[in-house]
A and B are shown apart, each in its own frame.
Chain A
């Protein structure tokens, strides 16, 4: 399986909204509602922010939202705050062989 495609970087000013895309295929992103998004600050382990495309774990601010259209999933961060500056990784269940595939990661900069 191939890695999911994410833009290497994204940016926005405090208070603005930014959307990060994650493109796969009909065998992974497009075939299942099992897309997750992870936030990773430098030197830290990833933390799940969104699972099953659009669900938020308890404790994750509602400024973070997820969606999917066809083979592309998206993470939107609204009302950007300085602490949102981090790397964001998407992942998807891959189905027939029960594999998991990640994207290459997107570095979000808060200007």
Chain B
């Protein structure tokens, strides 16, 4: 069964770029869609975007100007970059596999990213 693990800095300065990587184990990244989702402290979930293993992407319109999601099939990884971050981008960031009907399963354990100077 596929497992996902997020990794990256837990602290990012305002105006800088947040970078996270999701590494898969127990399965292949090929043939599927993969997504990033975030959850600000005490708030609901927000879909950031998804990527097909071929590299095709789709982003949340509210974040589209600042988001880049990429994939590295040789490493069984996909990544998130979010530029020009502010305190409002402080959140737990999750990566997840996307089912055929926009079902997210499974999820990584999540990683907290704090934006602060």
Contacts and interface: CB of A to CB of B under 8 A. Distances in A.
Interface in B14-58: 35, 37, 43-47, 50, 58
Contacts of B35: 100
A84 interface: no
A54 to B, nearest CB: 12
B44 A91 contact: no
A64 interface: no
Interface of B: 35, 37, 43-47, 50, 58, 60-61, 94, 99, 101-105, 107-110
A51 B45 contact: no
Interface of A: 1, 3, 33-34, 36, 38, 45-48, 51-52, 57, 89, 91-93, 97-105
Given A45-B108, A89-B44, A91-B45, A36 B103 contact: yes
Contacts of B43: 104-105
Contacts of B50: 100
Contacts of B46: 102
A45 B35 CA distance: 14
B109 A45 contact: yes
Given A52-B101, A99-B47, 16 more contacts: A3-B44, A36-B101, A36-B104, A45-B109, A46-B107, A48-B103, A51-B99, A89-B44, A91-B47, A91-B102, A99-B58, A102-B37, A102-B46, A102-B47, A103-B44, A105-B44
